[in-house]
Amino acid sequence: MGVNVAVVGVTGAVGTEMLRVLERRNFPVDELRPLASSRSAGKNVIFRGKEVPVQELTADSFEDMNIGLFSAGSSISRKFVPYAIEKNCVVVDNTSAFRMDEGVPLVVPEVNADKIPGHNGIIANPNCSTIQLVLVLKPIHDTVKIRRVVVSTYQAVSGAGLKALDELKKESEHILADKGEFNRSIFPHQMAFNVLPQIPQSNAFLPNGYTDEEMKMINETRKILDDSSFRITTTTVRVPVFRGHSESVNIETEEKLSADQARDLLSKAEGVIVLDDPSNQIYPMASDAAGKDETFVGRIRKDHSVENGLNMWIVSDNLLKGAALNAVQIAEKLI
């Protein structure tokens, strides 16, 4: 017996990946209902070798649907998720709309799949940069208890959507051709050959000086690890990489954990691959992680500035494990 699956935002970067992941993992789809705005309605998507017409998202779109995978922005989720729930369609939401709501499980299946049965119609998919972080933090926190974490991210432009990718390509070509000032619409400053310490690209900064993205990582990590006292600080940065988020992570633990012990521990963690042989230039890179399901960790070494400290480098495909794959894995647990 298959299930009926609606994909909201199917023509976007994450929606496109959701279709690929559903097909690649042989998810038991009986009926696929691709949903998007009126601008995309009537177009076709390819699923299992067949063209499936995109339908306009409306309040009636979830009739007879069992699972809804949402990735069309927070405002769309807030408006249409209630309609899905009314039709007994369980939603896996990839936006920030419900992540911090009490009673809504925020799930990374390898970390806290036990929270899924407690849903009330909505399960939230965490922020992409949070997902790869907690996959690595969880086994360490369970073993020696983490005292404090400092994270700096290097996030790919695909995290801002297809239009952002297109702008980066065009701006890069424009600069290389020495055509003068580029007329950009997505980013507040030059993105090509530059680094922006601001995510999201507009209305990013909060009264406390952090960006919305940074506070998402802080609050979501605490919720997923089920520890409201968890000490974490973040700086999120956009880099001119197409695909794959990287993170520099400093961890201070209650008990001593050597670099070798950390490598051994993480090599056994589900969904994590250790790439750590710097003498042979082996360490995780965004170009290697792109298109891969796993989260990669390397450059694991002692932090000599504190008694029990470790530094490491974490890389993952932000469109796969950071979004589409994690959502489909949640759906797999549901069924």
Where in the sequence numbering do the catalytic residues fall?
A: 128, 245
The DSSP string of 40-94 is TTT-EEEETTEEEE-EE--TTTTTT-SEEEE-S-HHHHHHHHHHHHHTTPEEEE-
> If we measure between CA atoms, which residue out of 288, 87, 126 comes closest to residue 213?
126
**Which amino acid belongs to residue 47?**
F
What is the edge-to-edge ordering of all strands in the sheet holding 67-70?
Answer: 55-56, 29-36, 3-8, 67-70, 90-93, 122-124
Task: Give burial (CB, 10 Å; 0-12/13-18/19+) of 312.
Answer: buried
Diameter of the chain measured on Cα atoms: 61
Strand-pair partners of 301: 311
The answer for residues whose C-beta is within 8 angstroms of residue 86's C-beta and 6 or more apart is 62
DSSP conformation class of 164: H
Spatial distance between the Cα atoms of 266 and 244, rounded to a whole number of angstroms: 20
